[in-house]
Amino acid sequence: MGELTIAKSAGFCFGVTRAVNMVYEAIEEENAPIYTYGPIIHNDEVVKDMKKKGVTVIDDLDELAAHKKGVMIIRSHGISKAEFDKIEKFGFKILNATCPFVSKIHRYVEEYSNKDYDIIIIGSPKHPEVCGIRGWASDKSRVTIINSIEDAQKFSDNSGKKLCIVSQTTFNYNKFQDIVEIIDEKGYDITVLNTICNATEVRQTEAKKVAHGADVMIVIGDRNSSNTQKLFEICKNECKNTYYIQTSDEMDYSKIGSNNNVGITAGASTPNNIIEEVSKNVRNEL
């Protein structure tokens, strides 16, 4: 008979739990319209539930003029300083659900930018966290986003300035080290701040271990979740039968044989009830 192993680190991380709780508490306590700037976390199921309870998602701050003033909750990924200022100018009350680990990166970028460093952000260029981080650099700093070994190899900075390197919190730790090494070998004066969240490192290391011993590996998370996409890549390298699903309905459980060892992990924005539902259906097959 096969075995099921569920990664201990699967599911909501500290920053996501905090952000989601802030929204539900605001629904209970605030006597005003409640908005989030962008989806509070990268999970459609959670965002749909909040919408049912009256939360409005604002995708463009220019929309604010057309809405009744209320409470704006900043998503866990964080936003730029200019966006912060714009929300305040519109007269909305701000509840900041930015993950504290992301807020720390904002402070680093602001500090080193003010010391006249150029900034390198290692991460996905279009990810909201990276867009937010970028917005804390001053105009006098050049900001470069590096997402791959190729980007690092092509990078050059002729300004003669020192460089401060930070990372998106959910970036692959080993890839981060490889990119830093390439930049370092170019001879720049660099300050490296490893801002990958410890929970991300733990989650990736554990996912790799579980996938290595699995015949079938299931990775649960939203399609837009950067950390889930990276978990899938890591697991796929260890177990060729790795499946990426958002909800239990997307999994074809007939792919699981009664003698299979099955592993499950989930991204930082995946609610526990979805993990439990998938686990229950896997156990029915074993």
Residue 187 buriedness (CB in 10 A; 0-12 / 13-18 / 19+): exposed
Q: Which two tokens stand for residue 89?
A: 């100018």
Cβ contact 19:76 at 8 Å: yes
- Measured CA distances, 95 to 19, 68, 88, 92, 154 (Å): 10, 17, 11, 10, 40
Largest separation between any pair of C-alpha atoms in the chain:
63
Token pair 């306590």: residue:
29
Active-site annotation holder among 28, 45, 88, 129: 129
* 129 carries an active-site annotation: yes
Beta strands per DSSP E along 104-259:
118-122, 143-146, 163-167, 190-192, 216-220, 242-245
Q: Taking Cα atoms as reference points, which of 74, 131, 80 lies closest to residue 110?
A: 80
Residues for the chain: how many in total? Answer: 286
β-strands 242-245, 216-220 pairing? parallel
Active site residues per annotation: 129
